[in-house]
Amino acid sequence: MTTLTHNRGRRGALWLRRAVGLLATVAATFFGLLLVTFLIGRIVPVDPVLAVVGDRAPQSVYDKVFHELGLDRPLWEQFWMWLQKVATGDFGTSFLTKKPIVEDIRRVFPATLELATVSIIIGTLVGVPAGVWAAVRQGRWADQLVRVLGLVGYSAPIFWLGLLGLLIFYAKLGIVAGPGRIDIAYEYSFTPETGLYLWDTARQGAWDAFGNAFSHIILPASLLGYFSMAYISRMTRSFMLAELGQEYIVTARVKGVPEWRIVWVHALRNAAVPLVTVIALSYAGLLEGSVLTETVFAWPGLGQYLTNSLQNADMNAVLGGTLVIGAIFVGLNLLSDLLYSMLDARVRRGS
């Protein structure tokens, strides 16, 4: 009884140390993210005052706005002022839309979230079985096919694939809808409660609008899904090859366990532990890296918002969007670490 209590106390202390270390790491990461984001806004050769007053404003107006923005203060004081505003959720006002940046991000982020979510579902549902298939058929034509498709997914520019997809599937074949999220004929046939059009239309039973929204999203989501599939299939193949060479696999085969059960139950279950991290980071990459895809498909998401803001020297919006993307990446990375700890028995035991 004493030994059991001692072991529980040791595990509790170990988890406490890990939790404290994890929180310290997250806090340091967020502070570094804030600092780098702030410095980017000061290094970029864009005058925020001119973005407000224009290049024909008199010098007196320029000097007044320069003082109101706090640009005449030391750099560390500017950072502290900005840090205080960010802590309260105030990213400033967009010079382009004349609205609070938090409000703009709240408006455009659901479009990016929906696109990235559909993309990661496609990439996972295709990438994991493809990686398993390649590992089981190592060195054969199936393995070579998966590796070549993955290489193309890595190498081909996403904007080129987007333009090619629009030309073939929209302009020539007409089997998908064009740029945008939904046709204007269906835009007012449902209430965008969450901003996720597929969810809102299905929940409200607006199936015609659902079909139109699905027709718009399927092409860009498939392209982004193909991009993530290339990475997921490659990592799945590596993890499966490592597991298929373990002694427990040989033992299972000697015992006469069916091959499908060895591959899809025993090996894949163990390979799924590190694969969770791969999928989570791929999802974060889709959330932050869909700028070109959103631009090509005129997708009104965070990527297009950042592109328009950058083109119009709206640095407040650029910094706010960059900070949100960085926070999402850190959050998903933290979530993947927690899931890894929950799924891996060795981590739970502290071994």
The pLDDT of residue 123 is 93
If phi > 0 it is left, if psi is from -120 to 50 it is alpha, else beta; for residue 182 that is beta
pTM summary value:
0.83
Q: What angle do CA 223, 291, 308 make, to 5 degrees?
A: 140
In the numeric block, which tokens belong to residue 209? 């609008």
Provide the 8-state DSSP code for 93.
Answer: B
Provide the 8-state DSSP code for 186.
Answer: T
Q: Which amino acid is at 114?
A: E
Residues 6+ apart with CB under 8 A from 35: 79
Of the candidates 298, 295, 276, which has an alpha carbon nearest to the alpha carbon of residue 344?
A: 276
Structural domain boundaries in the chain: 17-87, 104-349
CATH architecture assigned to 104-349: Orthogonal Bundle (1.10)
The pLDDT of residue 157 is 82
**How far is residue 91's CA from residue 22's CA, in Å, rounded to a whole number?**
27
Q: Is 51 exposed, middle or buried (0-12, 13-18, 19+ CB in 10 A)?
A: middle
The pLDDT of residue 295 is 84
**How far is residue 122's CA from residue 289's CA, in Å, rounded to a whole number?**
17
* Number of C-beta neighbours around residue 346 at 10 A: 9
**How far is residue 196's CA from residue 191's CA, in Å, rounded to a whole number?**
10
351 residues of the chain, pLDDT tens digit each? 455 555 556 666 666 777 677 677 777 877 887 787 777 777 766 666 776 666 777 777 777 877 777 777 787 888 888 788 887 877 888 877 888 888 898 899 999 999 999 999 999 999 999 999 999 888 888 888 888 888 888 788 888 888 899 999 998 988 998 888 999 888 888 988 898 999 999 999 999 999 999 999 999 999 999 989 989 999 999 999 988 888 888 888 888 888 888 888 888 888 888 888 888 888 888 876 677 788 889 898 888 888 888 777 777 788 888 888 878 877 787 777 777 666 665 555 554
In the numeric block, which tokens belong to residue 268? 């894949």
Is there a contact between 233 and 124 (Cβ–Cβ < 8 Å)?
no
- Please provide residue 76's backbone torsions phi and psi, each rounded to the nearest 5 degrees: -65, -35
The pLDDT of residue 298 is 87
The pLDDT of residue 346 is 53
